[in-house]
Amino acid sequence: MEAALKTFFSSARFAVAGASSDTSKYGHKVFVWYLTHSLPATPLNPRAPSITVGAKSYDTVASPSALVDAQNTSLSIITPPAVTMALLKEAKEAGVPAVWLQPGSFDAEIIEYARKEFKAAIAGMDGGTWGDEGWCVLVDGERGLKTAHRHWERANI
């Protein structure tokens, strides 16, 4: 999983599918996590033209194919499994290199597809700290950033 974390956090940009203005939703919390860590993040939400975090509004994109630079954007997914597979297929077609499937966004078929089709797919229970549900950016993101940073430092010595 360390290699997947390096790949995911080595992207120049990030996007959050399922981002929302609703502070009680995980899509909102994950988007805020990226902002708090000063990572360039784009909210994906096909039903809202923008989302609000605090007093600031962020324009959304409707889908992975609408991302400005999909080939250099890692995608966090916080959608129901019924939506996730179609989202993954579009992300693959757009050239997204890495995905992070948040707890509740996947089933076994989705994990298998993501691991087969992307350079990196973070999902499932192998090593994550989010109880029995697997890897979560809110809990495991710091570890991922540190892993990617160590890799970047070694590569640039």
Given this model, what pLDDT does residue 126 score?
58
Going by C-beta distance under 8 Å and a sequence separation of 6 or more, which residues neighbour residue 86? none
Given this model, what pLDDT does residue 1 score?
74
What is the C-alpha to C-alpha distance for residues 124 and 114, in angstroms, rounded to an integer? 11
Range scoring the smallest mean pLDDT among 73-77, 83-87, 125-129, 152-156: 152-156
What is the C-alpha to C-alpha distance for residues 44 and 41, in angstroms, rounded to an integer? 10
Mean per-residue pLDDT of the chain: 88
- Which tens digit of pLDDT belongs to each residue from 115-148? 999 999 998 655 555 445 678 888 888 888 887 7
Given this model, what pLDDT does residue 139 score?
83
Given this model, what pLDDT does residue 125 score?
55
* DSSP bridge partners of 50: 59
Given this model, what pLDDT does residue 20 score?
96
Query: Where residue 37 falls among pLDDT bands split at 50, 70, 90?
Result: very high
Query: Where residue 151 falls among pLDDT bands split at 50, 70, 90?
Result: very low
Query: Where residue 13 falls among pLDDT bands split at 50, 70, 90?
Result: very high
What is the C-alpha to C-alpha distance for residues 106 and 108, in angstroms, rounded to an integer? 7
- Which tens digit of pLDDT belongs to each residue from 79-111? 999 999 999 999 999 999 999 999 999 999 999
* Helix, strand or coil, per DSSP, at residue 156: coil
Q: Which domains does the chain have, with CATH numbers?
A: 2-155 (3.40.50.720)
- Examine the pLDDT at 155 and tell me if it is beyond 60: no
CB 51 within 8 A of CB 45: yes
Length of the chain as a residue count: 157
- Examine the pLDDT at 152 and tell me if it is beyond 70: no
